[in-house]
Structure 1
Amino acid sequence: MIRNSAPTVAAAWRADDGAAVPLREATVAWALAAHAELSEIATGYGHFITVSALAERVQETSGVHTEAPTRTWMDAILRKVARRCHSAGEPPLTALCVRQNHTVGDTYKYVLELAGLPIPDDLELHAAYARWQCYQYHGADIPADRGIPPLTPKVASRRSGSATGQAETKPQQTRAAVCTQCYIQLPASGTCQYCV
């Protein structure tokens, strides 16, 4: 059946023939496409993608489209990807997907819930380490001189004060040591209480 009218907010359809696609089938197709897209992004060190850009790419890749606002369906897709990564023992690819302001936001907390880990004080730093793990896992060429994974540019800029021209007057802060397994900040003893 070819679509002759504009889709409703919750509708999904195939781009090639306009046939309606049940929402459950659409989310599976989008989640598979999102996993593939994020895996490809992870092959480039420092690469990441915004939620809206990923939403466009998964629709193009899967051939299943919707006019529903991205905010109404992408969280579910990212959760499916997070569950798949967790089940397969892969690093959390959803760390590569950020909001327009380059932060991972609340959606990333689901990765920690799946692993049974507490929410760290610095969620963005945790996500930076998770991105680094994704780059390693997917064979990105990681610079040898990178001892600490980079934050996304907008987050790094806000933290350094360079966006307001205060970088010279602000003292450099050192990052706390984190566990190499779960990326939670280590206590003074240097032993992770969650991974022992």
Structure 2
Amino acid sequence: MPVDANGTKVSQAVAIAAWTVVARDTLLTTARRYHSVITYKELASEVQEVSGITTAQRLDYWIGRLLENVAVEATQRGDPPLTALCVHQDGTIGPGYAKAPKSVASDPDADVDLLAAEHRLLCYRAYAEDLPADGGVAALTPQVAARKARRRKTEPVALPVCPIHSMELSTTGVCALCE
């Protein structure tokens, strides 16, 4: 159970409400720097330190609820989706992001990291103090971009197949049996 600065136990709801205010401010600060993100762990540390309400509970038990509250509040205020700025240590956004308010992907197989990159750009365009004159571009986190680049290099190239003989075509694009 969370405790305040005096060591008094507070309910999870009270803690989440206090943390929501701090999380929004922290995410707004993050949005002021183009292509900046904050990790779940960094955000959790910040909300506890600033609010004075701490918890020994594992991060994954409460951070989703906190971010959901921030997302709902952002939607109500007409803010861009600030929660897109909060990522895992490995730079990914996490599959739950597609379920957050303002994060509805029409395609259930949509890449949530690409969706979050587009949403982060909306945040930077609204708040970044160092946004490029051209309005900037949506970008994956460096870790995710590097992983995707490595994956592209290692994926086998599918060669065309003859529709009649079901054989791979030669580099000329002609089936050896059809010639």
- Where does the alignment leave 5 or more consecutive residues of structure 2 unmatched? 158-179
TM-score, length basis structure 2:
0.78
SS in 1 for 2:129: coil
Structure-1 separation of matches of 2:76 and 2:37: 22
Q: Given the alignment, which residue of 30, 48, 57 partners 2:19?
A: 30
Does residue 143 of structure 1 match 2:163? Answer: no
Aligned residue runs from structure 1 range 38-53, under 5 A: 38-53=27-42
1:96 matched residue in structure 2: 85
Superposition RMSD on alpha carbons, in Å?
A: 2.6
Alpha-carbon separation, structure 2, partners of 1:140 and 1:69: 34
Aligned 8 A contact 2:121 2:136 in 1: no
How far is 1:160 from its partner? 1.5
Counterpart Cα distance in 2 of 1:126 and 1:84: 20
**Larger CA Rg, structure 1 vs 2:** 2
Distance 1:160 1:144, change over 3 A: farther
Q: TM-score, normalised to structure 1's length?
A: 0.71
Give the length in aligned residue pairs: 156
Classify 1:63/1:99 alpha carbon distance in 2 versus 1 (closer, same or farther; 3 Å): same
Q: For 1:36-84, what per-residue CA distance to the aligned partner results, in whole angstroms no more than 9, with x for missing partners?
A: 1101110001110111111111101111000000000000000000101
Q: Which amino acid aligns with 1:12?
A: P
Inter-CA distance 57–88: structure 2 relative to 1 (3 Å threshold): same
Q: Shift of the alpha carbon at 1:146?
A: 6.8
Q: 1:13 maps to what in 2?
A: 3
- In structure 1, the gaps of 5 or more residues are 1-10, 172-196
Q: Following TM superposition, where does structure 1 have runs of at least 4 consecutive aligned residues deviating by more than 6 angstroms?
A: none
Q: In percent, how many aligned pairs have the same letter?
A: 35
